């Protein structure tokens, strides 16, 4: 009886870890999309970069997303102003999310 109970607790704990990782992946996904949109608005001069609040948002997005991009940028060649690292990070995050939700979660539930 105790083995069944501990297995259930273990499965519940693992599902909580998977849910937490899903939340982290979703937040990272949102920040990457927001950073890309912000950089386009900045590049096309749609937003006023002299505004202190806008500048603070831009710096915050940069500081939050740059650690995700930096390892990818080391291996990408210079493409003349086109940065593909956000796209590659999004693809990697998607594969991690897919693996967590199909393989790991279904193994725990099935």
Question: What are the pLDDT digits (tens) for 43-74?
Answer: 999 998 899 999 999 999 999 999 999 999 99
What's the confidence (pLDDT) of residue 75?
Answer: 92
Q: Which of 65, 60, 105 is nearest to 88 (CA)?
A: 65
Average pLDDT value for residue range 14-33? 95
Q: Is 51 helix (H, G, I), strand (E, B) or coil?
A: coil
What's the confidence (pLDDT) of residue 22?
Answer: 95
Question: What are the pLDDT digits (tens) for 67-95?
Answer: 999 999 999 988 888 899 999 999 999 99
């Amino acid at each position: 009886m105790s083995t069944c109970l501990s297995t259930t607790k273990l499965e519940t704990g693992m599902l909580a870890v998977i849910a937490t990782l899903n939340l982290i992946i979703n937040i990272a996904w949102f920040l990457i999309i927001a950073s890309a949109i912000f950089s386009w608005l900045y590049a096309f001069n749609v937003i006023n970069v002299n505004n202190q609040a806008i500048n603070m948002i831009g710096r915050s997005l940069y500081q939050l997303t740059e650690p995700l991009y930096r390892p990818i940028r080391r291996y990408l060649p210079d493409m003349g102003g086109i940065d593909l690292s956000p796209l590659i990070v999004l693809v990697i995050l998607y594969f991690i999310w897919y693996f967590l939700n199909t393989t790991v979660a279904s193994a725990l539930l099935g």
